[in-house]
Amino acid sequence: MNRHSNRIAPAKGRLGVLLPGMGAITSTVIAGILLARKGKGRLIGSLTQMQTIRLGKRYEHRAPLIKDFVPLAGINDLVFGGWDLFPDNMYEAAVKAGVLGRWTIEPVRQSLEAIRPMTAVWDPAFLKNLKATHFKKGRTKMDLAQQLMDDIRAFQKRTGADRLVMLWCGSTEILPAPSPAHESLTALEKGLRANDPSIPPSMIYAYAALKLGIPYGNGAPNLSVDVPAMTELAEKTGTPVMGKDFKTGQTLMKTTIAPMLKARMLALRGWYSTNILGNRDGEVLDDPGSFKTKEKSKMSVLHTILEPDLYPQLYGQFHHKVRIDYYPPRGDAKEGWDNIDIAGWLDMPMQIKINFLCRDSILAAPIALDLVLFLDLAKRAGLKGIQEWLSFYFKSPQCRPDLDPEHDIFIQHLKLKNTLRLLMDEEVLDHSGLDYYDPEKGLPTPAPAAKPLAKGKRETARAR
Q: Which residues bind ligand NAD (CB under 6 A)?
A: 20-25, 83-86, 97, 120-122, 127, 130, 169-172, 201, 219-220, 245-246, 248, 279-281, 284, 360-361, 363-364
Whose Cβ is closer to ligand NAD: residue 52's or residue 119's?
A: 119
The distance of closest approach from Cβ of residue 130 to ligand NAD in the complex, given in angstroms and rounded to an integer, is: 6
Whose Cβ is closer to ligand NAD: residue 80's or residue 83's?
A: 83
Give dist(CA 312, CA 53) in Å, integer.
37
Whose Cβ is closer to ligand NAD: residue 63's or residue 276's?
A: 276
Query: Coil, strand, or helix at residue 266?
Result: coil
Q: Is 233 left (phi over 0), alpha (psi -120 to 50) or beta?
A: alpha
Give dist(CA 298, CA 61) in Å, integer.
39
User: Where is 322: in which H helix or E strand?
Assistant: strand 319-326
Give the DSSP letter of residue 76. Answer: G
The distance of closest approach from Cβ of residue 117 to ligand NAD in the complex, given in angstroms and rounded to an integer, is: 7
Query: Coil, strand, or helix at residue 349?
Result: strand
Residue nearest to ligand NAD (CB): 23
The distance of closest approach from Cβ of residue 346 to ligand NAD in the complex, given in angstroms and rounded to an integer, is: 40
The distance of closest approach from Cβ of residue 144 to ligand NAD in the complex, given in angstroms and rounded to an integer, is: 10
* Residue 47 vs residues 29, 44, 154, 272, 297: alpha-carbon distances, Å: 14, 9, 32, 30, 24
Give dist(CA 54, CA 65) in Å, integer.
9
Q: Are 412 and 391 in contact (CB under 8 A)?
A: yes
Whose Cβ is closer to ligand NAD: residue 82's or residue 240's?
A: 82
Whose Cβ is closer to ligand NAD: residue 77's or residue 332's?
A: 332
Q: How many CB atoms lie within 10 A of CB 221?
A: 25
The distance of closest approach from Cβ of residue 55 to ligand NAD in the complex, given in angstroms and rounded to an integer, is: 32
Whose Cβ is closer to ligand NAD: residue 117's or residue 191's?
A: 117
The distance of closest approach from Cβ of residue 194 to ligand NAD in the complex, given in angstroms and rounded to an integer, is: 20
